[in-house]
Structure 1
Amino acid sequence: MKKLLFTMAAFAITSWAVAQKTEGKQKAEDLISFKEKKHDFGKIKQGSPVTYDFAFQNTSDKPVVIENAWASCGCTTPTKPEQPVAKGKSNVIKAGFNAAAAGPFDKTVYVKVQGIDIPLELRITGNVLNAEAYAKYESENKKNKGGK
């Protein structure tokens, strides 16, 4: 009986300690606010790189430093602001995708804010079509828009 009570008490204390450790932690979303965290490029032509600017605003009461921005693979190239973003000001994380391989894609860009342990995630998606499939797609698109 004593072992059971001791085990239950140890479990309760450990659970409480873990909850306290994660509850008070600040998140990147507490400092910066993105207009959107996901962008769908739709259908793009193979070999034609695309980029998208993920706009964000500093919602904190002090300048924010974007320490790093990296991608889930080498086909995606993020670019971050090099200078601190002042209180209330806006900036962008630029996500470039090389569109080298045909097929659907779903890539993640990670954004590390100074002083925050867990990076924020942005996503880009789309479908890369080879030249023939893209020409067919464009032709069908023109027909649906009345030939304009």
Structure 2
Amino acid sequence: MIRIPFSLFALLLLCFTAQHAQAQEPVTPKLIWEINKADLGTVLEEQGPQLEEFHFTHTQDSLFFIEKVWTDCGCTTVEYTKDTLEVGETGTLQVSFDPSSGAGFFSRMIVVKGNLEGTQDTLFIEGNAIPRASDPEGTYRTRKGDLGFRLSKVNVGEVFTNEPKLKQVEVFNFGDKPFYKDSVEFAGPEYIQVSQLTDSIMPNDRGLLQVYYDGAMKNDLGYFEDQVSVNWKDSTSFIQLEILADVFEYYAPFAKDDLNLVPQLVIDPREIDLKTIKSSEIKVENVVLSNRGKQVLEIKKVQGNCECLKLEMSKTSLNPGESIVLKVVFDPKGRQGIDQRNIYVFTNDPLNPVQLLLLKSRVE
């Protein structure tokens, strides 16, 4: 047996205990930032450089100053606090982004290095830069009154119930009168609001409108098309906007150990191939929906992407281990060639709250 002298053993134990205690202590960041990522939204080239400020607080006892700041692109420049800060004092970085540097989505990185060990933080600015159009007539093909749009409809995209979605829409003024931000009025569903972001949209110039969509207030799930009327009080301009959105229930992340405790939807089969059918032949198929979880499964909605589908089921709540039949009726009248229908099942399964069932055929 190898014997370790008591004094040496005590010293090793003390070191281990100190290291263990140190490992258990939470690490306090040396700089606390109000935010570390800023979304500039949609930026038009003619708006010029966009400014964003980042604020931080110094938390250490030692004196602190910013030693160096660098970015990943020449389109981004930074001005920052040059003062030496004591504990509790605050500093600022002002970031300037030039939207003429490129087109489309951008994500620029700013690295901040301080004089103290471990003070190197990363900040980000993101957004969508849109260059000036050289041919407005060809670019803004959809006309609504004096305003030109790139697309005929406004697609908000995916909207979750935990927070509203914002969508910026670029417009061009083909008229001879300006549109002012403070004169916008709109009428439509209560879960949609429309505003003007730019203070004014001058003749032969462009600006930005913003659509606000509240998925929780919508109180429904799936794909929707809504109409909103927009007008400006100091002009005769009156337009209709068609708003498209896919609304989904939001479920917060949960522990892996709870995976088998939550509701779980299983669809069998997930794909139905009718092969070759006649357009006069109505087809009926049965699909089994099962709850493999240990909590009650709530089927909130079943939605097809066509009026040619009729969907029926006997109940919307499934106990653990229970199954029901979803009856799918497909009427191919008026269709020809390869056809695919999508059926969406919305449930409270937090891992897969929306599942897709495919119905394929070749209609003669």
TM-score by length of 1: 0.70
| Aligned counterparts of 2:231 and 2:41: Cα–Cα separation in 1 | 21
- Check conservation: 2:63, 2:86, Cα contact below 8 A: yes
Matched, 1:59 2:94: no
- 2:42 is aligned to 43
- Following superposition, the deviation at residue 130 of structure 1 comes to 2.2
- Check conservation: 1:33, 1:57, Cα contact below 8 A: yes
| Aligned counterparts of 1:50 and 1:107: Cα–Cα separation in 2 | 13
Deviates more, 1:99-108 or 1:127-136: 127-136
- Check conservation: 1:32, 1:56, Cα contact below 8 A: yes
- 1:97 is aligned to 97
Matches within 5 A, 1:3-18: none
> Which amino acid in the other structure matches residue 51 of structure 1?
L
> Which amino acid in the other structure matches residue 130 of structure 1?
P
- 2:78 is aligned to 78
The two structures, once aligned, show a CA RMSD in angstroms of: 2.9
- Following superposition, the deviation at residue 85 of structure 1 comes to 1.9
- Check conservation: 2:30, 2:119, Cα contact below 8 A: no
Unaligned runs of 5+ in 1: 1-19
- 1:125 is aligned to 126
| Aligned counterparts of 1:90 and 1:147: Cα–Cα separation in 2 | 45
| Aligned counterparts of 1:147 and 1:41: Cα–Cα separation in 2 | 26
- Following superposition, the deviation at residue 138 of structure 1 comes to 4.5
| Aligned counterparts of 2:112 and 2:120: Cα–Cα separation in 1 | 5
Give deviations 1:8-40, integer Å, cap 9, x for gaps.
xxxxxxxxxxxx9xx99xxxx721100110000
Give deviations 1:47-95, integer Å, cap 9, x for gaps.
4110111011111223211101110111111122111122211111111
Percentage of identical aligned residues: 24
- 2:272 is aligned to none
- Check conservation: 1:70, 1:111, Cα contact below 8 A: yes
CA, structure 1 residues 57+71, in 2 after alignment: closer, same or farther (shift >3 Å)?
A: same
TM-score by length of 2: 0.30
- Following superposition, the deviation at residue 116 of structure 1 comes to 2.4
Deviates more, 1:130-139 or 1:91-100: 130-139
Instruction: Give the count of matched residue pairs.
Output: 123
| Aligned counterparts of 1:113 and 1:79: Cα–Cα separation in 2 | 15
SS in 1 for 2:99: coil
- 2:117 is aligned to 116
| Aligned counterparts of 2:81 and 2:231: Cα–Cα separation in 1 | 42
- Following superposition, the deviation at residue 139 of structure 1 comes to 3.9
| Aligned counterparts of 1:80 and 1:70: Cα–Cα separation in 2 | 11
- 1:10 is aligned to none
- Highest Rg: 1 or 2? 2
RCO comparison, higher one (Cα < 8 Å, 6+): 1
| Aligned counterparts of 2:131 and 2:78: Cα–Cα separation in 1 | 24
SS in 2 for 1:30: coil
Give deviations 1:84-127, integer Å, cap 9, x for gaps.
12221111111111111221100100000112257210000000
